[in-house]
A and B are shown apart, each in its own frame.
Chain A
Amino acid sequence: MFKDLADFAVKYALKLGANYSEARLEETSSNSFIMKNGIAEASGFGKINGLGMRIIKNKTLGFTSTNYLDKEKIKKLIQTTINTAEKASHLREEINLSEDKSLKDKYEVKQKINLNDVGPDEKIKLLFDAEKELINTKINIPSRYLSLSDSITTEYLINSDGTNVLATVPRASFFYLLTVEHNNKTSQRIWQNGQTGGFEFVKKWNIPSIVVNEVKALQKNLKFGIKPPKQALDVIAAPQVVGIMVHESGGHPYEADRIIGREGAQAGESFITKEMLGTRIGNEAVNVVDDPLLENSYGFYKYDNEGVKARRKYLIKEGIINEFLHNRETAYYMGLKSNGSSRAVNYDRESIVRMSNTFMLPGKYSEEELIEDVKLGIYMKNFMEWNIDDKRINQKYVGAESYLIKNGEIKEPVIKPVIEITTPQLYLAVDAVANNTEYHAGNCGKGEPMQPIPVWFGGPSIRLRKIRLGN
C-alpha cells in the first residue's frame, strides 16, 4: 500500500494553503461468479488501488481522486482542487467540521476461512449445488439467476488533524432472482445475503436451502393464494419487511445531510426537521437504531471515513425522534459532534452521511404471541416491490410470501397484499414488537454520482393494528 503517498498528499495540500486535508487510500481485490439457468455464465475479479482526498481551503470543500498513484500527478490534482475551491469561494457553502479527537488505530475483520484461500471452483460449486437443489424440487422455475461475490478492502485514512486509521474489511454476498411459474402465472423474488468476515459465513448461509425455501413458498402462493381481505385488518410484518420499512422511513429521513438540504437534487430531503427532535413519530414500542459495530454485519466499521469512532445511534427512542445521523460537517451545522456516519463506497467518491446497520430493537413478545392476538390479519413474511417518496413519507410494500391470519392462526397464502401507508401512520400503528430479530443485507443508494453502499437492515416481527390494504 502506498501509505507514504497519502501522507505526502495531506502535507502537500497544507503546504499549498489548505486549512484541512484528508487522504483515503483504498486497495480492494474482489471476485464474482454468475450462474444463469444452470450455466456458469462468467467468473470475474477486480482490483482497485486509488487515492481520494478532501481538501478545505477558506471554508470551501474540494474533492479529488485518482488511481494514477504517482506523486507528480497527485501534486497537480491537489493544485487544481485548491484553485477550483478558490474560484468557487464566492458562491460556496461555508464548510466547517465539528471538533473530534484525533486518533491512531488499525483493525481488521477476522476471517476463519480467508476468502482468497477458497478457489473459484469451490465458490462456483456452491452455485451448482443450489441449481441442483432447485431442479430437484420439480417446481417450474423458468429463470434462475444466482451470483456470489466477495471482496477484501484495506483503507488507510489520514487527515491533517492527526487521525490515522488502517482498516481491513472482507465482505461476501450472495444474490438471487428466481422466477416460478404455475398455470401460466409467474411470481418472482430478488434477495441478497451479505456479511463481513470470511468464507465461513458463506458456508453457514446454506445457499441451496435459501433458494429452495423461496421457490417452494412462491409456488405455494401461486397455487393456493387467495386475494387479501378488503376491510381494515392487522398486519404482522416479519423481520425482512420490518427491515426495509425501518431502512426507508426510520433511517433515511434521519440523515442530517438530507435534513439540511444537501441531497435535495436527487436522493431528496426529509419530512423531518431539526425542530422535530424530541417529538413523537411512533408508538412507545418503537425503537430504531443504526449501529455500525454489529460484528460481521454487512455495514460494519469501527471508524467512519472521517476517522470518527463508530457508535450506536438511537434514531427513534420509545417512539420519539431522538437523534440524526451525522458526519463532521452536518454535526457542526447543528452544533453537535459527529456520531460517525460518514461513508464513501470507494476511493473515488466523497464520503457523505450514510446508514450502516439500521434496525428496530426487539420487544418482549414472541412472534407467536403477536399472531395469537390477531382476529383477522395478514402475515407478511417478505416482499418484492417497494418504494417511498423522496421526503420519506409515502411508502409501499407488496408482500411476496404472505398468509391470512384468522383467530390467531396462520391460514392459506395470500396473493400480493399491499401496504401503502405514511410514515407516521406506520409507526403509530405498531402496538407490539417481537423478539425474533433478523438482519438482512442490501446496497443502499444515495449520492450523485451514485454510491451503493453495503448495509444491513432488520428487526423483529411487529404487529400493525387496523391497516387498510392497498390495491
Chain B
Amino acid sequence: MEPEEISSYVLNKLLKAGADDVIVSVSKQDNSLIKYSNNLINTTKTWENIDLGIFMALKKKIVLTNIKEFSLSATDDVVNKLLKFVKSASPNMEYGGIAKGPFSYKNVEDGYDKKIVLLGDNSIDYVEKAINKALENGAKKTAGVFENSVEDVFLLTSNNVEARDKGTSSYFSIRAFNSKDASGQKTGSSRMIDLLDVEKLAEEAAIISRQAINPEHGKFGKYDVVFEPLPFANLIDNLGNAMSAFSVEAGLSCLKGMIGKQVANKEITIIDDGLLKNGFNSSKFDAEGAPSQRNIMVNKGIFKTYLHNTSTAKRFNTKTTANAGLLSPEPTNLIVEKGNFSKQELFEQVKNGLYITNIWYTRFQNYNTGDFSTIPRDGIFVIKNGKIGQPIKGIRVSENMLNLLKNTVSLGNKPERVVGWEVEKPVVTPAVLVKGVNITRPAD
C-alpha cells in the first residue's frame, strides 16, 4: 500500500471512532553506512525501513504509536489497539491541539540530491580518498563513518494538512590518530554530496593529530578558551534542548524564566532555521504539518522565545514556532551567527589560554541551573601570547552554561555545519573565544 492510502485509511477510522485530532506520518528511509577503523573498512551497512507514526487526541487523552511494520492487517491491529488504549488513558488537561491547515510550503533549497540516491557502493571511494588524505597529512591511523540517507515523509492530519517531503543527507566523520594520546576529529554534514568535502575534513583531522603529539598533563585553573566549532556545537546542542518549552516544564532547562533577559554575551545571536538551505535537519514542515520557519532565539544575548508546538504555545500564551515534536518541541538547525574574527585573530586575543578542538560526555549536575562538565578530547593546546603551543591532556571543563555564554566574547568568521555523536541536532557555528573557563583535572 502507498503511504497516502494507508494514512487516509487510518485517519478516517480514528475520526469515525471519535478522535478529535489525528496525525498520521509515514516515513521511508534508505540508509547506507561504512564504518572504518585502523585505515580499513570494518563493515558496510545498508538498511531500509518504513515507519508508521500515529498521534491521536480523544477528549484530551493523548496516545501515540510508532510501528515498524507496514501492512493493512498490521494497521488494523494498530487502530484497534489505539482505540482500546485511549479508553483507559488519562486526559492531559493541558493539551492545546494541533496546527490548523491547509498550509502552503516552501521547498528546502539544496535538500534533495539525486547523486546520494544513486550513490550505492561508490561511497567506498569517498572513504578511501579520505583515509589516504589523512595518511598523506601525517596521520598514522583513522576511524570514522560515512552515512548516506534518503528519506520520504508523508504527513496527513485531521486539521487539513496533507504534505510530503523528500530529503537526502550525507554525514562523514573522521578521527585521525598519531598515537594513543594524539588525535584529531572532524565531522561534516550536508544534504548535497558535492558540498561535503571529505578530503578536507580528513586533512584537518590529520593536522590536529600531528600537532597533538606528546601531550603533557594540563593544569587546573581559569583559562581563556578558543573552542573549535565542533565542541561549541556540542554546547549549543545542549542549549537547544533547554530552549524547548517541554524542557522548561520538565525541569530540564536553565532558560526557565529567562525570556527577555540577558542569557549570553551581546555578541551572541542564535537562530533556529527549519528552512536553512542545505540544512541537515531542514524540512518543509514540522511534525504537526506547520510550515517550517526561522526563529530568532537569542538576539544580541537576549533570550527571545522557547521552541513551541501548538499545544505548548497555547500553554505559554503564544504561537507555535513550528518546532513540533508532538510531545516535546525540538530545534531544527541552530545557527550561531558568525562574528568578525579569523581564527588567528581569536588566538591573538589570548595571553594565557587553551585551544579545545573537541569535547565529549557533556553531563549536567543540574539542568535547572545549567551546571555541567564536559571532557575535552583530541587536540587540546596551550595558547601563549596568541600562539598555539604545547598539547595537553587529562582536563575537564567544569562550568555553568549561562556563565559560559555570557563570557563568549568573540566569534569567528567561518561557520561550520556540525552534526555528530553528541551533536544530535545540527548546529552551524564558528569558532569562539570564551573568557575565564573553569578547567579541572584529577588531583595527582
In the assembled complex, A17 has its CB within 8 A of some CB on chain B: no
Do the beta carbons of A63 and B365 come within 8 Å of each other? no
CB distance from A451 to the nearest CB of B (A): 12
A396 touches B47 (CB 8 A): no
Cβ B63 vs Cβ A43 within 8 A: yes
Binary interface profile of A, 235-270, with partner B (CB < 8 Å = 1, else 0)? Answer: 000000000000000000000000011111110110
Q: Are B441 and A420 in contact (CB under 8 A)?
A: yes
Bound CA span A388–B377, Å: 11
Given that A34-B327, A385-B373 are known contacts, is A65 also in contact with B141, CB under 8 Å in the complex?
A: no
Q: What mask results when residues 44 to 63 of chain A are scored 1 for a CB within 8 Å of chain B, else 0?
A: 11111110100000001111
CB contacts under 8 Å to B, within A363-397, are 384-391, 393-396
Using Cβ atoms and an 8 Å threshold, which residues of chain B touch A77? Answer: 46, 48
B89 contacts A43, CB within 8 Å? Answer: yes
Closest Cβ of chain A to B101, distance in Å, is 22
Complex CA gap A398/B252 in Å reads 18
Q: Within 8 Å of chain A (Cβ to Cβ): is B261?
A: no
Chain B residues whose CB sits within 8 angstroms of the CB of A124 once the complex forms? 88-90
CA distance A302 to B94 in the complex (A): 45
Size class of the B contact interface (CB-based, 8 Å): 35 or more
Q: Are B49 and A66 in contact (CB under 8 A)?
A: yes
Given A44-B63, A68-B70, A470-B442, A81 contacting B252 (CB threshold 8 A): no
The distance from the CB of A400 to the nearest CB of chain B, in whole angstroms, is 9
Q: Is the beta-carbon distance between A394 and B92 smaller than 8 angstroms?
A: no
A83 CB within 8 Å of chain B:
yes
Within 8 A of B (CB), among A262-282: 262-266, 268-269, 271
Contact A62 B81 (CB under 8 A): no
Given A48, A120, A142, A393, which contacts B69 in the complex, CB threshold below 8 Å? Answer: A48
Given the interface contacts A81-B44, A394-B441, does A42 sit within 8 Å of B327 by beta carbon?
Answer: yes
A93 touches B47 (CB 8 A): no
The segment from A84-92, A148-156, A287-295, A303-311 that touches chain B is A84-92
Cβ contact of B421, chosen from A34, A50, A178, A266, cutoff 8 A:
A266
Residue of A43, A48, A470 with highest tally of chain B CB at under 10 A: A43
A234 in contact (CB, < 8 A):
no
Contact of A87 among B62, B86, B121, B367 (CB under 8 A): B121
Q: Assess the B363–A47 pair: CB atoms within 8 A.
A: no
Does A450 contact B421, Cβ atoms closer than 8 Å?
Answer: yes
CA distance A66 to B368 in the complex (A): 41
**Assuming A385-B371, A385-B372, is B44 touching A121 (CB within 8 A)?**
no
How many angstroms from the CA of A42 to the CA of B85 in the assembled complex? Answer: 11
B74 interface residue (CB < 8 Å to A):
yes
Q: Which of B43-97 contact A (CB under 8 A)?
A: 43-50, 61-70, 74, 78, 81, 85-86, 88-94
B363→A39 contact, CB < 8 A: no
Which size bracket describes the interface of A in this complex?
35 or more
Kindly state whether residue B255 has any CB partner on chain A within 8 Å: no
B251 and A120 form a contact (CB under 8 A) = no
CA distance A52 to B275 in the complex (A): 34
Q: Which residues of A contact B360 (CB under 8 A)?
A: 268, 389-390
Name the interface residues of B110-138: CB closer than 8 Å to any CB of A. 120-121, 124, 127-128, 131
Contact B180 A179 (CB under 8 A): no
Contact A93 B40 (CB under 8 A): yes
Contacts of A183 in B (CB 8 A): none
B24 contacts A by Cβ under 8 Å: no
Report if A120-B42 is in contact (Cβ < 8 Å); known contacts: A43-B63, A420-B443, A449-B33. no
Q: Contacts A47-B74, A394-B394 given; indicate if A264 touches B440 (C-beta within 8 A).
A: no
Given contacts A42-B327, A448-B145, are A67 and B44 in contact (CB under 8 A)?
no
A312 at the interface (CB under 8 A from B): no
Cβ A36 vs Cβ B67 within 8 A = no
Given the interface pairs A41-B92, A42-B63, the reply to whether A49 lies near B68 with Cβ below 8 Å is yes
Chain B 136-151, CB-CB to A under 8 Å as 1, else 0, gives 0000010111010000
Q: How far is the CB of B104 from chain A (nearest CB, A)?
A: 30
B38 an interface residue at 8 Å Cβ cutoff? yes
Q: Evaluate contact between A84 and B91: CB separation under 8 angstroms.
A: no
B62: chain A residues within 8 A (beta carbon): 41-43
Q: Does B103 contact A (CB under 8 A)?
A: no
Does A143 belong to the interface (CB within 8 Å)? yes
Query: A64 near B47 (CB under 8 angstroms)?
Result: yes
CA of A144 to CA of B251, assembled, Å: 8
Q: Is the CB of A387 within 8 A of B363?
A: yes
Task: Give the shortest distance, in Å, between B211 (CB) and chain A (any CB).
Answer: 19
Nearest-CB residue, chain A, relative to B90:
A40
Let me know if B396 and A398 touch, CB within 8 A. no
In the complex, what distance in Å separates the CA atom of A177 from the CA atom of B250? 8
| A326 to B: closest C-beta gap in Å | 16
Instruction: Please judge, given known A-B contacts A46-B65, A145-B250, A265-B175, whether A62 and B43 are in contact too, CB under 8 Å.
Output: yes
**With A44-B65, A62-B43 as contacts: A389 and B91 at CB distance below 8 Å:** no
- Are B377's CB and A88's CB within 8 A? no
A73 contacts the other chain (CB 8 A): yes
For B143, the chain A residues whose CB sits under 8 A away are 261-265
Does B354 have its Cβ within 8 Å of any Cβ on chain A? no
Q: Which of B42, B94, B365 contacts A384 (CB 8 A)?
A: B365
Name B421's closest neighbour in chain A (CB-CB).
A266
Which of A44, A50, A187, A471 is the one whose CB lies under 8 Å from B366? Answer: A187
B43 lies within 8 A of A63 (CB): yes
Tell me whether B6 is interfacial, beta carbon within 8 Å.
no
Q: Are A45 and B85 in contact (CB under 8 A)?
A: yes
In the complex, A12 has a CB within 8 A of chain B: no
Asked if B396 and A394 make an inter-chain contact with CB atoms under 8 angstroms apart, the answer reads: yes
A67 to B365, Cβ gap below 8 A?
no
A91 x B127 contact (CB < 8 A): yes
For residue A431, CB closer than 8 A to chain B, the reply is no
- The distance in angstroms between the C-alpha atoms of A425 and B144, with both chains bound, is 31
Q: Does B305 contact A (CB under 8 A)?
A: no
Whether the pair A93, B42 counts as a contact (CB closer than 8 A) is: yes
A36 touches which of B131, B249, B374 (Cβ 8 Å): B249
Alpha-carbon gap, A386 to B375, bound state (A)? 11
CA distance A376 to B372 in the complex (A): 28
B21 vs chain A, min Cβ distance (A): 13
Specify which chain A residues have a CB less than 8 angstroms from the CB of B235 in the assembled complex: none
- Chain B's closest residue to A400 (CB) is B365
Using CB atoms, name the residue of chain A closest to B362. Answer: A387
Chain B neighbourhood of A410, CB < 8 A: none
Alpha-carbon gap, A471 to B222, bound state (A): 12
Within 8 A of A (CB), among B332-360: 360
- Whether A348 contacts B47 by the Cβ 8 Å rule is yes
**Contact A142 B251, CB 8 Å, known A179-B368, A385-B364:** yes
A22 / chain B contacts, CB cutoff of 8 Å: none
- Contact call B37/A391, Cβ cutoff below 8 A: no
Partner of A64, one of B45, B65, B127, B369: B45
Would you call B41 and A188 a contact (CB within 8 A)? no
A42 and B145 in contact, given A93-B42, A471-B440 (Cβ under 8 angstroms) = no
> By the criterion CB–CB under 8 Å, are A67 and B68 in contact?
yes
Complex-state Cα separation, A264 to B35, whole angstroms: 11
Interface centre among A73, A262, A416 (most CB of B within 10 A): A262
Q: How far is the CB of B83 from chain A (nearest CB, A)?
A: 12
As a 0/1 sequence over residues 161 to 179 of chain A, the CB contacts with chain B under 8 angstroms (1 = contact) are 0000000000000000111
> Nearest chain-A residue to B371 (Cβ)?
A385
- Tell me if B34 is interfacial: C-beta within 8 Å of chain A: yes
In the assembled complex, which residues on chain B have CB atoms less than 8 Å from the CB atom of A271? 180
Q: Is B177 an interface residue (CB 8 A)?
A: yes
Across chains A and B, which 6 residue pairs bring their CB atoms closest together, nearest first? A143-B251, A264-B143, A40-B90, A121-B88, A385-B365, A387-B361
Q: List 27 A-B contacts (CB under 8 A).
A: A40-B92, A43-B62, A45-B85, A47-B65, A48-B68, A62-B44, A64-B45, A68-B48, A81-B44, A92-B42, A93-B42, A179-B251, A187-B366, A188-B368, A261-B38, A262-B38, A264-B37, A265-B37, A350-B45, A387-B363, A391-B180, A394-B441, A396-B398, A421-B443, A448-B421, A470-B398, A470-B442
- Besides A40-B92, A88-B121, A387-B361, 9 other CB < 8 A contacts? A42-B92, A61-B43, A91-B128, A121-B89, A124-B90, A265-B37, A385-B372, A396-B440, A421-B443
